Chain A
Amino acid sequence: MNNKIKSILKQAELYRSQGLLNEAREKYQTILDLIRKTDQIKNKDKLLEGLEKKMILLEKDIELVTSAPTTPEMSEHVNTLIKKLFSFTKDSEKSTEDDAALEGAIALAKFGQFDGAIVEFGKLLEIDRLRVTSAKNILRCHLTLESKDDALNQFAEWESSDLFSPEQLEKIRVLFNDMLEKKGMAASQVNEQAEEAAAEIDEQDDEEEILDISAVAITFDSGPHKGEQFELDVSFQSGNIISLIISSNDEVLVESLKVGVKLEEVHFYSPIAIFRGSGVVSAMTQIKSGPKKGDFSLDIKIESI
C-alpha cells in the first residue's frame, strides 16, 4: 500500500514540475482518497495535512496560470521581429516593401499589439493602393481596444482631411458602419475544448501535385511606368500559361501589356512559395460578352521561375 502511494506521489510531483497542474491535482486527489480510506497508515493525520497544503498551493498555481495576461506589452525589438517574421511578401527590393509592411502591421494586430499596429497602419495611409485597407484596420484596432470614441474621432478627422478620395471615404464609411453594428452584438463564446477526443483524420483526395500560381505582381523595368508594380489575381492556369483579367479602366496595364512584351520582373505567388521570375505576354483578347464584357483577358507565359 505504501509503495503504491509513493509511486502515485512521485507522479503527482513530476506532473507538477512539468506544469501539468490538472494531472498533478488528480493524482494528489487519488492519494488523499486512498489515505482516507486506509487505517493502517502511520502518521495518517500528518500525511493528510501535508497533502492538503500541497493542494492549496497547487490551486494557487492553477489560478495564476489561468489568469496570466494573454497579450503582454513587448519590447520594440520583439515587435520588429514579429513584423519581419510574419510578413510573407518580404523582399529586398523596393517593389513589395509596402506589402510586407502591411502584413507586418496585420501580424502586430493579430498578436494583440494594437497600439503598435495603429502606428504602422498610419504610415501606410500614404500609399494609395493600401490606404483603404490600412484605414479599415486602424478603425478595427481602435474598436478592439474598446475605444469607440477614438475610432469615431479618427473617422471624423479623415472626413475633414483630403487624404482620401470621396470613393475611398465611402468605402471606409460602409465598412466602419458594419464594424460598429457587429460590435453592438454580443460576442458568442466558442468553446474550444469541446472538440471530441479522436485522432481520426479525414483523408483528402490525392489531387495532382502541380504548382498553382494564385496571383502575380508585375514590375515594369522600362517605359513610362518603370519601377511601378501591379498585383493581379490569376483567374486560370494551364501548365505554364496563366490567365488574368484586366479591367478596361486599367489604362496603364492595357497600354503597357501587348503581345510579345517581356516581363523581366514578375513575382509568382503560389501556396508554397513566392517565386521571382520572368514571363512574356502571349495573348491578349477583349472579352466580348458576360459580366466582364469589355475587359481584357491576358495570358502570360512563364519563362523562368
Chain B
Amino acid sequence: MAVFNIKKREIECKIVYYGPGRCGKTTNLEYIFKSHKKQIDGEMVSINTEGDRTLFFDFLPLELGKIKGCDVRVQLFTVPGQVQYSSTRKLVLKGVDGIVFVADSMEVRREKNMLSLKDLQHNLKEYNMNIFKIPLVLQYNKRDLAEEGIPIMSIEKMEKDLNRQIKVPSFPGSAVKGDGIGKSLQSCLQLTLQYLNKQLNWTK
C-alpha cells in the first residue's frame, strides 16, 4: 500500500517478487543489492530456512530520489516460493503496489510457473486486487542455463504459458549473471509509478 505524504511530498511504494520455489527471486534482490549500491537505503534482510530457501521474505529498501518533485522510496520484497508457505506468501503480498513475477525457464519447472501465477491471481483477489490491473512484469529467469545444456523452454513457449492472457511486459534474464534484472525492475517501477500517479495525481 503506497503511502503518500502530501505535506512532505513523499511517496513510498511496495514491489513484490513473486514466483515458484527456487526460481531466483532472492538472487534477483541480491543482485540489485550489489548493483544499485547508490540507491540502497539500508540493509537487505533475509529470513531463510534450510538450504537458503526463503521462509518469510527478503526485504531491500531503495531510495529513488525526486521524481516530478516527489521523493520516491521503494520497498522490495520477495515471497517464499515453496508451496507449503502459502499463508506467509499471502501476508507478504499485502499492500503490494507492483509485482515482478519471476518464472523459471527450466523445462522441469513449467507446471510450477503456471501454478504460481494462478496462486498470485488468487491471493490478489483475496485482497480485492486484479491481476489484469496491477502493475506487473514477467521475468524469464535462468536463461544462462541454455549454454550448460540444461533443457529450458523457448521464450515463445513461456509467453504462451504465462503471458497469453495478462499481456504484460516480459524480459529474459539471468539473476546469477545479472542480465535483465535491472530492466525488469525498472519496467515494473515505471508501471507502478504511472499507476500510482494516475490514482494519487501527485504530479498535478
Selected interface stretch from B33-41, B47-55, B65-73, B180-188: B47-55
Cβ of B193 under 8 Å from chain A: no
Q: Mark B58-87, 1 if CB is under 8 A from A, else 0.
A: 010000000000000001000000011111
Of the candidates A11, A14, A70, A203, which one forms a contact with B165 in the assembled complex, judged by CB atoms under 8 Å apart? A203
Of the candidates B49, B108, B111, which one forms a contact with A68 in the assembled complex, judged by CB atoms under 8 Å apart? B49
Cβ of A19 under 8 Å from chain B: yes
Cβ of B114 under 8 Å from chain A: yes
Cβ of A18 under 8 Å from chain B: yes
- B50 engages A65 (CB within 8 Å): yes
For residue A132, give the distance in angstroms from its CB to the closest CB of chain B. Answer: 23
For residue B144, give the distance in angstroms from its CB to the closest CB of chain A. Answer: 11
Report A189-206 residues with CB < 8 Å from chain B CB.
192-193, 195, 197-204
- B114 engages A272 (CB within 8 Å): no
Report A65-94 residues with CB < 8 Å from chain B CB.
65, 68-70, 72, 74, 78, 81-82, 85-86, 88, 90, 92
Report how far A88 CA is from B7 CA in the complex, Å.
19
Of the candidates A19, A86, A197, A203, which one forms a contact with B51 in the assembled complex, judged by CB atoms under 8 Å apart? A19
Interface size class of B (residues with CB under 8 A): 35 or more
- A272 engages B5 (CB within 8 Å): no
Interface size class of A (residues with CB under 8 A): 35 or more
Of the candidates A70, A88, A211, A275, which one forms a contact with B6 in the assembled complex, judged by CB atoms under 8 Å apart? A275
For residue A7, give the distance in angstroms from its CB to the closest CB of chain B. Answer: 6
Centre residue among A7, A70, A92 by max chain B CB count within 10 A: A70
- B115 engages A19 (CB within 8 Å): no
Cβ of A99 under 8 Å from chain B: no
Report how far A159 CA is from B2 CA in the complex, Å.
41
- B7 engages A14 (CB within 8 Å): no
Of the candidates B1, B86, B91, B118, which one forms a contact with A111 in the assembled complex, judged by CB atoms under 8 Å apart? B91
Report how far A50 CA is from B70 CA in the complex, Å.
62
- A19 engages B91 (CB within 8 Å): no
Of the candidates A20, A111, A204, which one forms a contact with B88 in the assembled complex, judged by CB atoms under 8 Å apart? A111
Report how far A72 CA is from B50 CA in the complex, Å.
11
Report B102-161 residues with CB < 8 Å from chain A CB.
106, 108-109, 111, 113-115, 117-119, 121, 127-133, 145, 148-151, 161
- B83 engages A192 (CB within 8 Å): yes
Of the candidates A20, A70, A198, which one forms a contact with B55 in the assembled complex, judged by CB atoms under 8 Å apart? A70
Cβ of B95 under 8 Å from chain A: yes
By secondary structure, the A interface counts as: loop
For residue A184, give the distance in angstroms from its CB to the closest CB of chain B. Answer: 23
Centre residue among B7, B22, B145 by max chain A CB count within 10 A: B22
Report A4-26 residues with CB < 8 Å from chain B CB.
7, 10-11, 14-15, 18-20, 23
For residue A65, give the distance in angstroms from its CB to the closest CB of chain B. Answer: 5
Report how far A68 CA is from B85 CA in the complex, Å.
12
Q: What A residues does B50 contact at CB under 8 A?
A: 64-65, 68
Q: What A residues does B106 contact at CB under 8 A?
A: 15, 20
Of the candidates A23, A61, A193, A209, which one forms a contact with B108 in the assembled complex, judged by CB atoms under 8 Å apart? A23
Cβ of B17 under 8 Å from chain A: no
Cβ of A110 under 8 Å from chain B: yes
For residue B132, give the distance in angstroms from its CB to the closest CB of chain A. Answer: 7
Cβ of A304 under 8 Å from chain B: yes
Q: What A residues does B200 contact at CB under 8 A?
A: 272-273, 275, 305
- B4 engages A273 (CB within 8 Å): yes
Q: Mark B14-50, 1 if CB is under 8 A from A, else 0.
A: 0000000110000000000000000000000101011
Q: What A residues does B162 contact at CB under 8 A?
A: 199
Report how far A69 CA is from B85 CA in the complex, Å.
12
Cβ of B203 under 8 Å from chain A: no
With A199-B118, A203-B132 already in contact, the answer to whether A61 and B149 are too (CB < 8 A) is no
Cβ of A141 under 8 Å from chain B: no
Q: Mark A30-50, 1 if CB is under 8 A from B, else 0.
A: 000000000000000000000
Query: Chain A residues in contact with chain B, CB under 8 A?
Result: 7, 10-11, 14-15, 18-20, 23, 61, 64-65, 68-70, 72, 74, 78, 81-82, 85-86, 88, 90, 92, 107, 110-111, 192-193, 195, 197-204, 209, 211, 270-277, 304-305
Query: Other CB < 8 Å A-B pairs besides A200-B118, A204-B132, 7 of them?
Result: A10-B148, A10-B150, A23-B108, A78-B45, A111-B91, A270-B199, A274-B3
Q: Rank and list the top 7 A-B pairs by shortest CB-CB distance, nearest first.
A: A199-B114, A68-B50, A273-B2, A68-B49, A23-B108, A197-B111, A88-B1
Sample of 8 A–B contacts (CB below 8 Å): A18-B22, A23-B108, A65-B53, A72-B49, A86-B94, A199-B117, A276-B6, A304-B6
